Structure 1
Amino acid sequence: MGLWDVEQVLGLASDAASAKAGQGLARGEKWSAAGASERAVWGLCKGSGKQPYQTIVELSGPAYKCSCPSRKFPCKHALGIMLRSAKGELENAEEPDWAQTWLDQRADRAERADRPERKPGEVADPVAAQERAARRADRVSAGLAELAGWLDDQVRQGLGGFDQRAYGELSRLAARMVDAQAPGVAGAVRRAAGVVGRGHGWPGELLEELSLIHLVVAAHARLKDLPPSLADTVQTRIGWPTETARVLVEGEKVKDDWLMLGRVIEPDDRLTVRRVWLRGATTGRIGLILTFAAAGRPLDPLPARPGEYVPGALSFYPGALPMRALLTQSDPRTPAPRPAGLTVRRALASYVESLAADPWNERWPLVLQDVRPARHGDGWALVDEAGDGLEILPGWDPLKLLAVSAGDPITVAAEWNRAGLRPMTCWRDDRPVLL
């Protein structure tokens, strides 16, 4: 079978070295179980390891798959089997299982791509989707029941000596929650593991984390009795996803000029997360836009710079404290004046109000007015005119904040959580400074 000629095959090589290596592999003694069908050519090529490389080329693309570690497409093994095909050295044969599986998967993806697009939020197979949801619900319930039993055991035993067995037990529980398809609870268990042994007050911090986990487990047990908005919040904390298309269609929509208070970027080895905090100029509503990117990949562009208005509509995800939203921008961004802020006491009161709606709320944006950076033990705090202060996260560099303030009161937009305050943007006049 000779679908290509030799020149065409060599023209597919990514560089001269690949072409030369492919020619070196176009010899029959290197190959076993080689063959061809109407869809593909394939073969097993002897390499440096014990197992030969499985190489297959789909004819319609061509598209390539090889079990070798090369990052070149096509790799030298794919070029070799194509050159053998070009020379007419491959006989028609039945596709082996490993080749057939890959070819069928590609055909299935192509068929789905050719289907008419569904409307936003529309489910392709509602019955199958309902069955999958029911199976997941059973797994979640079983996993949370096991977690509830473990929490009850800790109450009976107490936390004495827990630091010695914490890592093993909490790691096992987190893995069990992943298996139970409750990733939100798995993350909460890992956070609890992170406080063990951290400073003298770790038992109190651990008890707080375990209490929040117990609360979500108990809420799940009576999910049907909860108000719909609170039930949505509980399911989100457990880790049930909400389709963005459904949010755009069914979510609460609020139009306003949205002031970008600031952004926080948290990278790790696997995923980079960016939080963008918005506040409505007219409504005063808080909005949170979450953006994710694989490690090393760029994030989407920001909708505006901190201190600018973004005219548009926010479509809010469901929940008792709707904050996360999707932005549909209607007009170009515009400059905004320095925002009005609150005293430390009133700002903390707004955070307490958020906890009354969603006791698992981890973060809350605060705009503090007329505050100054000041030393606080080994760290720093923002202190208002009344002498009330909020501690800045340990390790956060205050130099830019000190330079802008120069001892004078400033306005600061920051993200607050139980660990402390993370400043995002500050204003000494109407000009914002990103921190």
Structure 2
Amino acid sequence: MVLGADQIERLAPDAASLAAGRKLAAARHWSALGSDNQALWGICQGSANYLVKFDRADQGYHCSCPSRKFPCKHVLALLLIVAQDPDAAPKRDEPEWVVEWLAKRRARDEKKTVRQHETASPADVDPQAIAKANAGRKRREAQRDERVSEGLERLDLWLHDLIRNGLADLALRGSGIFAEQAKRLVDAQAPGLANRVARWSEITGSGPDWHERLLAELGRTHLLIRAWRRIDELPAPIADELRQHLGWNVTQDRLDAEGEAVDDSWIVVGQIEEQEDRLRSQRTWLVGRQAGQVAMVLQFAPANQNFAESLVVGMEQAATLRRYPGTVGVRARIAARLGPPTPVTARAPGDDRIVDWLDRFADRIAAHPWLERFAGVLRYVRLARDSTPQSRHPWWIIDTGGDRLPLQRLPRRLAALTGGHPFDLAAEWDGVSLLPIGLFADRTWRGLP
């Protein structure tokens, strides 16, 4: 498996790293370039000699340089060299430093598999220890429930005051009004809802219909508060979705024990990375080749560390996913990779009609009213421009039946690569507009930054 130039560009942490990698993507900067069925490697010669490795099995990588960007310019340069000329890294035996690195990675994967097996099939356990641990967990959950309840009641009172006073002047009052409520929710141990409330500042004043969109958000939050008051009466899947939306984490043990296992060949159709303070988040959307199911792998990492799973847009990975408990079941974790990834060369499953896309979104909203986004693939669509003066959404996509949906923005690559011809689009839908995240055209799947 060799990554293409588009995939390497998506892998780069920023434009500066990609530009630096391109400067180093020449044979004169390298020695001991080599490859086999497991890995690529080489020594980049600069102010020091840096050992660079790339794992073909899961697109993992490592460089001995001190850079805090992942991947660094040396890894990007190695991949670019091989993308330009696969023979630049000839087949040869792995040097000791590559053998050692791969051995550590395989040992870590084996430990992970063993740990999952032991969780699924516990052997000798101490019943008293289990009872004590369960009692402690329930006590901590009760304490958190009490703090969350207090925080939501305060938020509900604030919502009533906000509605009573009106929304007209919110755009003039700045983002502080929402930031203060978000801070209080963090203190109440509801960080998930806190993030949502903080983003309301992005709605105010953002268009002629911002009042309607903010009012819809306030209504969904009021519904959430009412649901929390009755959480003990809710079906378990809905209660799970509610807790996760508020900010509860599903433990690894629970996910292994209760998460539905789904085997398929998963197409990486799009990826979005965001950064808040010193924490990065990454949403990677997958579509199953056989069943057409949609899954989202959500990862977090400090600004100077790699994400645990390396997933590259435009690759297809046979794997077992574990779906998180809940009614929608979109979020998932990779439980096991069932072979090396391969480039996508065929269309991904998706919807040929926009009405079918919207019907699936409606089904998910009915099951989970607080769902913020939904993603998938719309097939055989075209770009169209809205000629309405001062339109909030100047660009749309149109299906073969003439139905259309607005785009949040138009990536330059999307317009350049499609040239007015039909294409398949992966996108996130928030109920108002589409955020393009991936494109299939000319038998190649590309990410859209």
Normalised-by-shorter TM-score class: 0.5 to 0.7
Distance 1:264 1:434 in 2: 10
Give yes or no for contact 2:428–2:437 (8 Å, CA) kept in 1: yes
- How far did residue 412 of structure 1 move? 1.4
Distance 2:181 2:313 in 1: 40
- How far did residue 238 of structure 1 move? 1.2
Aligned residue number for residue 313 of structure 1: 320
Q: Find 1:424's aligned residue among 437, 441, 448.
A: 437
Aligned residue number for residue 71 of structure 1: none
The DSSP-based 3-state class of the residue aligned with 1:137 is helix
The DSSP-based 3-state class of the residue aligned with 1:134 is helix
- Is 1:208 the equivalent of 2:211? no
The DSSP-based 3-state class of the residue aligned with 1:365 is strand
Q: Find 2:330's aligned residue among 307, 311, 323.
A: 323
**Change in 2 beyond 3 A, CA 1:429/1:198:** closer
Q: Which has the higher contact order (CA 8 A, sep 6+)?
A: 2
Give yes or no for contact 1:268–1:295 (8 Å, CA) kept in 2: no
Q: Deviations over 1:198-244 (max 9, x none)?
A: 33322212111111111111100010111110011111111111112
Give yes or no for contact 1:263–1:275 (8 Å, CA) kept in 2: yes
Equivalent residue letter for 1:389:
R
Give yes or no for contact 1:365–1:416 (8 Å, CA) kept in 2: yes
Q: Deviations over 1:246-266 (max 9, x none)?
A: 202221111122222221222
The DSSP-based 3-state class of the residue aligned with 1:274 is strand
**Change in 2 beyond 3 A, CA 1:270/1:160:** same
TM-score (norm: length of structure 2)? 0.65
Distance 1:374 1:163 in 2: 31
Once the two structures are overlaid, the 10-residue window that deviates more, 229-238 or 248-257, is 248-257
Give yes or no for contact 1:230–1:320 (8 Å, CA) kept in 2: yes
Distance 1:233 1:434 in 2: 29
The DSSP-based 3-state class of the residue aligned with 2:378 is strand
Q: Find 1:289's aligned residue among 282, 286, 297.
A: 297
Q: Deviations over 1:330-382 (max 9, x none)?
A: 22223441124322222222222221111111111121122122223463222
- How far did residue 433 of structure 1 move? 2.4
Show the 5 A alignment for 1:161-172. 161-165=169-173, 167-172=175-180
Distance 2:206 2:347 in 1: 39
**Change in 2 beyond 3 A, CA 1:132/1:354:** same
Distance 2:343 2:328 in 1: 29
Distance 1:167 1:410 in 2: 39
Distance 1:133 1:319 in 2: 18
Gaps of 5+ in 2: 1-114, 123-129
The DSSP-based 3-state class of the residue aligned with 1:125 is helix
**Change in 2 beyond 3 A, CA 1:294/1:371:** same
The DSSP-based 3-state class of the residue aligned with 1:279 is strand
Distance 1:227 1:324 in 2: 19
Once the two structures are overlaid, the 10-residue window that deviates more, 385-394 or 220-229, is 385-394
Aligned residue number for residue 366 of structure 1: 376
Equivalent residue letter for 1:349:
D
Q: Find 1:338's aligned residue among 340, 347, 350.
A: 347
**Change in 2 beyond 3 A, CA 1:430/1:161:** closer
Show the 5 A alignment for 1:35-434. 120=119, 125-165=133-173, 167-303=175-311, 305-327=312-334, 328-336=336-344, 337-341=346-350, 342-376=352-386, 377=391, 379-394=394-409, 396-397=410-411, 399-418=412-431, 420-434=433-447
- How far did residue 386 of structure 1 move? 2.5
Distance 2:252 2:382 in 1: 40
- How far did residue 309 of structure 1 move? 2.7
- How far did residue 315 of structure 1 move? 0.7
**Change in 2 beyond 3 A, CA 1:432/1:140:** same
- How far did residue 163 of structure 1 move? 4.2
Q: Deviations over 1:134-189 (max 9, x none)?
A: 11111111111111222233344433444455644433322211111111121222
**Change in 2 beyond 3 A, CA 1:190/1:392:** same
TM-score (norm: length of structure 1)? 0.67
Give yes or no for contact 1:390–1:420 (8 Å, CA) kept in 2: yes
Distance 2:437 2:201 in 1: 28
After superposition, the CA RMSD in angstroms is: 2.5
- How far did residue 282 of structure 1 move? 2.4
Number of residue pairs aligned between Structure 1 and Structure 2: 316
Equivalent residue letter for 1:261:
V
Once the two structures are overlaid, the 10-residue window that deviates more, 220-229 or 263-272, is 263-272
Give yes or no for contact 1:248–1:326 (8 Å, CA) kept in 2: no
Give yes or no for contact 1:257–1:282 (8 Å, CA) kept in 2: yes
Q: Whose radius of gyration is greater, 1 or 2?
A: 1
- How far did residue 296 of structure 1 move? 3.7
Gaps of 5+ in 1: 1-116
Distance 1:393 1:158 in 2: 27
Once the two structures are overlaid, the 10-residue window that deviates more, 174-183 or 162-171, is 162-171
Distance 2:229 2:215 in 1: 21
Distance 2:119 2:287 in 1: 27
